Amino acid sequence: MFKKILIANRGEIALRIVRACREMGIESVVVHSTADENGMAVRMADESVCIGPAPSRQSYLNIPAILTAAAVTGADAIHPGIGFLSENVEFCRMVEEHGFTFIGPTSEHIAKMGDKAVAKDTVRELGLPLIPGSPGIVKTSDEGLSLAKEIGFPVLIKAVAGGGGKGMKVARSADEFKSCFDMASNEAKAAFGNGDVYMEKYLGNPRHIEIQVLADGQGNAVHLGERDCSIQRRHQKVIEECQSPALNDAQRKQIGELAADCAAKMGYRGVGTMEFLYEDGKFYFLEMNTRLQVEHPITEMITGIDLVREQILVAAGGKLPFKQEDIVFDGHAFECRINAEHPETFIPSPGKITRYHAPGGLGVRVDSAIYDGYAVPPTYDSLVAKLIVHAKTREEGLMRVERALDECVIEGINTNIALHQRILQEPEFREGNFTIHWLENLLEKQEEEKRRVAS
């Protein structure tokens, strides 16, 4: 087993990994930028190393600085966390080449799944259902247009290197196809340095349902159930829950086993998530994330399995300690992503937190690295806390989330707590009756209402 793990990340997820290390008796080193000197993860880790100035390119994406920190502190393994370098093939390769273990899959698996066009080919062969779309990269807008006519409008043009909803454009008719194609490609080039795009049929009203898998790289894999992440704004998840109110046990078992089987056949190692859209009783594979997800805690709550611990154990060469039949889904869990942003305009709101009180009580977990007097830096993403609740049933869970949101006090900055409270009041949300467009529609209605009152 590893003696010391270097954590190449920041904020709540760095702290989450420090906590797992502590419980496993492994020492932790957190690297940080100058903007994060006072970060909670930096304070809680056994050691910390400043690796550069605030901009990510010079710190959290600075591969030589991270490898040097690992060498200097004598770490055996590197945990990349979420975002930053967690799905970067080059980083993974260099970590291994320098004699450290990458806590995650092999660089080959990251490379295969990181290119979304290759990923789709791979999983198609392994038996996962796909959305009708281009067989691979679409090179020109003319080629795209004739294919779009075959698939049928609307179509979605997506970046092969995509992430966070960037480089994605819906083309609703042949007339607007070329401009959408160029926009998606240019946006992808600007965001990812790779303008290659592919195409899919645009589904009108799907849910986003993803399957958590865990595999040991020795041919063993299990699934840990699904997460319903349909509550989104601008393709970004806002509230996640499990189990999905849309699935029954038979559907859950079927898609879960397909995903686990796919991971086993790939020889995959570590945690991974297969994301699907789900419409009219059918699943369509979107992409596989070869890392931990922000929303992993809800799976932990209903399975009792510590995903970071398991990730570390399999990276160290351990065999999966359980079989599919050992995994029991107990109750219901929700996660609200609390962001430092205005709850209506969504304008980011970095700054000093003047008062903080975290909610508590039975079934409430808060994954956060903020504290009284902490200044949220303007440089990174706006997630400041994840409020996670676990309850016996979905109904109890709804009451518990509401209760916990009411207890939560974060002053000095704006947060989207009021947005969560608003969503929780909606009958459709309470009934579990929503798709990926539901929240955007709700926000639009709210804006219209405001305009009506103003005029």
Strands (DSSP E) contained in 296-394 are: 332-339, 351-352, 355-357, 364-368, 375-376, 383-391
Cβ at position 133, least distance to ligand ADP in Å: 7
Catalytic residues: 291
Residue from 15, 203, 263, 353 binding ligand ADP (CB under 6 A):
203
CA quadruple 252, 226, 364, 303: dihedral sign: positive
Choosing from 41, 51, 180, 286, the residue that interacts with ligand ADP (CB under 6 A) is: 286
CA–CA gap between residue 320 and residue 216 (Å, rounded): 6
Q: How many residues bind ligand ADP (CB under 6 A)?
A: 18
Residue closer to ligand ADP (CB basis): 172 or 392: 172
Residues in 367-426 that interact with ligand ADP by CB under 6 A: none
> Among 169, 208, 291, 337, which residue interacts with ligand ADP (rule: CB under 6 A)?
208
287 binds ligand ADP (CB under 6 A): yes
Local structure of 382: helix, strand or coil: coil
- Look at residue 235 and give its three-state secondary structure: coil
- Binder among 232, 311, 339, 349 for ligand ADP (CB under 6 A): 232
Report the chain's terminal Cα–Cα distance, integer Å.
66
Strands (E), 314-454: 332-339, 351-352, 355-357, 364-368, 375-376, 383-391, 409-411
Please provide the DSSP assignment of 351-366 as one string: EE--EEE---STTEEE
**Among the candidate windows 198-206, 362-370, 399-407, 447-455, which touches ligand ADP by CB under 6 A?**
198-206
Tally of helices (H runs) and strands (E runs) in the chain: 15, 20
**Beta bridge partner(s), residue 198:** 158
Would you give the binding string for ligand ADP spanning residues 156-195, x where CB under 6 A is met? x-----xxxx------------------------------
Closer residue to ligand ADP (CB): 162 or 272: 162
- The two structure tokens encoding residue 426: 């909606």
Compare residues 27 and 295 and give the one whose CB is closer to ligand ADP: 295
Closest CB to ligand ADP among residues 19, 189: 189
Contact 12, 368 (CB under 8 A): yes
Among 176, 275, 306, 402, binds ligand ADP (CB under 6 A): 275
Q: How far apart are CA 103 and CA 212, in angstroms?
A: 17
202 is an interface residue for ligand ADP by CB under 6 A: yes
Is residue 295 near ligand ADP by the rule CB under 6 A?
no
CB of 275 to ligand ADP, least distance (A): 5
Structure tokens, 67: 């490898």
CB of 406 to ligand ADP, least distance (A): 29
Task: Return the number of the residue (164 or 360) whose C-beta is nearest ligand ADP.
Answer: 164
Q: Which residues bind ligand ADP (CB under 6 A)?
A: 131, 156, 162-165, 200, 202-203, 206, 208, 232, 235, 275, 277, 286-287, 436
